[in-house]
Amino acid sequence: MTIIPPAFLFRHAISLPEINELPHKRGNLLKLPESASIPDLSFEQKSGKWGNVKLAWNKNGLGIGLKVDQKQHPTTASEYIQVWIDTRDTKTVHRANRYCHSFQFRPTRNPEKQNQPYCEQLTIHRAQADAPMCELSEILLWAKINPTGYELESWLPASVLNGFEPSAYPQLGFYYAIFDSELGEQFMIVDHEFPFAQDPGLWATMRLGT
């Protein structure tokens, strides 16, 4: 039995591609390349990886894409991805601050209107200070549901990310967790045994390089 998870042996830092054309005005919001895929950082071979998460950025905001394609049952309103973003990548403080955000995205909110994705902003438990609540209408969403799963894309403009200043702070703290009624749960690094939902020190670093 391993006392320390293998993921803790590394300080994860990932360079995100800068794509100036984002978001697209027609069709898919993002159409992110494979170079934008987030690698599996959990080192848990038994769990497998059924959700492919992609990230890209430009000076105007951050794009997040998710593709799930191993489902055998219909996609429901229970499926979602939750992300945590720290625009200042604070690793020395273990409680969230006003630069730490959490958003939850669903490919559908109503099974009868499947291609209508949904987003909400959540507060972070035990935060020293909460990020400002944003205007959700500024967040762009796109989803496509098919027999084997779904695609979900979101564009978070700089206006909804307090402290998003890539030229001055060229890296972000980031974490994700995916929940599926059929496939279970997928975590970016560690699972619920660790307080990733409230501790920015457990989030990976995303480098906003060129």
The mean per-residue pLDDT over the stretch 140-154 comes to 95
pLDDT tens per residue, range 2-20: 566 666 666 778 999 999 9
Q: Which SS3 state, helix, strand or coil, does residue 57 take?
A: strand
Q: Write the single-letter amino acid at 56.
A: A
Angle subtended at Cα 177 by Cα 192 and Cα 207, rounded to the nearest 5 degrees: 115
pLDDT tens per residue, range 154-201: 999 999 999 999 999 999 999 999 999 999 999 999 888 889 999 999
Q: What is the pTM of this model?
A: 0.92
Strands 118-122 and 80-86, sheet pairing: unpaired
Question: What six digits make up the tokens of 189?
Answer: 């690094």
Question: What six digits make up the tokens of 36?
Answer: 């934008």
CA 94 to chain centre: 19
Q: Write the single-letter amino acid at 138.
A: E
Residue 70 has pLDDT above 80, yes or no: yes
Model confidence band, residue 24 (pLDDT cutoffs 50, 70, 90): very high
CA 22, CA 27: separation in Å to the nearest integer? 12
DSSP letters along 87-111, please? TT---S-SS--TTEEEEEEES-SST
